[in-house]
Amino acid sequence: MSSKRERMKKQFLDFDVLKESWNLYDLKDGTQLKTKFVLITVIEEPASDGFSLGFTSKIVVGAIPPIKLMGQPSSPYTQEELRSSIAKPDIDVENSQEVWNSYRLENGIVLKIKNVLVNVSRTKKFDSKGIPIYLVDTNAIVKVSKKDMDRLSKDKRIVKVKKPRKKGKS
């Protein structure tokens, strides 16, 4: 549990979306998979070397399958049931287009994030339109320019204040 003092040093940073695009993947099963990294919050925290940036995000996933892979909509299911209903594990990607998303933080830093597909599996479950549900694992690669990192480190450097000397008795 963090102390009140530590929480006071953390701050949320507002940001503008410069670019937030879809990544596209042509899967070996004939499906075009679309993923989008959506940045929700950015938090700046003190660290031993100056500062760190953290964030929360969501990954939006869509699939455009060939008609032959479509089925009857599934009744409601839990995440556990979904994970235990894999029809086709670890589907190969034949072509991909992964883009860098860009965000300008209120402190001027440009944060770049690329969402990279790690694994994709098709389940035996279908959404309300009969589209197969895919389980997708991704990793986010984060890039901040060295110039921005150096500038922010200087801005956030802690200045130590010397204690005044005690006056001796004369």
Q: How confident is the model at residue 71 (pLDDT cuts 50, 70, 90)?
A: very high
Residue 146 has pLDDT above 80, yes or no: no
Phi, psi angles (nearest 5°) of residue 49: -100, 20
Q: How confident is the model at residue 162 (pLDDT cuts 50, 70, 90)?
A: very low
Residue 114 is assigned to a structural domain of this protein: yes
CB 32 within 8 A of CB 93: no
Residue 25 is assigned to a structural domain of this protein: yes
Whole domain around residue 138: which residue ranges? 10-156
Residue 5 is assigned to a structural domain of this protein: no
Residue 16 is assigned to a structural domain of this protein: yes
Tell me what pLDDT residue 159 has. 33
- pTM value? 0.79
Residue 69 is assigned to a structural domain of this protein: yes
Residue 141 is assigned to a structural domain of this protein: yes
At residue 24's C-alpha, the angle toward residues 22 and 27, to 5°, is: 150
- Across the chain, mean pLDDT equals 85
55 vs 52: which has the higher pLDDT: 55
Q: How many structural domains is the chain composed of?
A: 1
H helices of the chain, in order, are 4-9, 79-83, 146-156
Residue 81 is assigned to a structural domain of this protein: yes
Among 28-32, 41-45, 136-140, 148-152, the minimum mean pLDDT is found in 148-152
112 token code pair: 């770049």
Q: How confident is the model at residue 1 (pLDDT cuts 50, 70, 90)?
A: low
Residue 165 is assigned to a structural domain of this protein: no
Q: How confident is the model at residue 163 (pLDDT cuts 50, 70, 90)?
A: very low
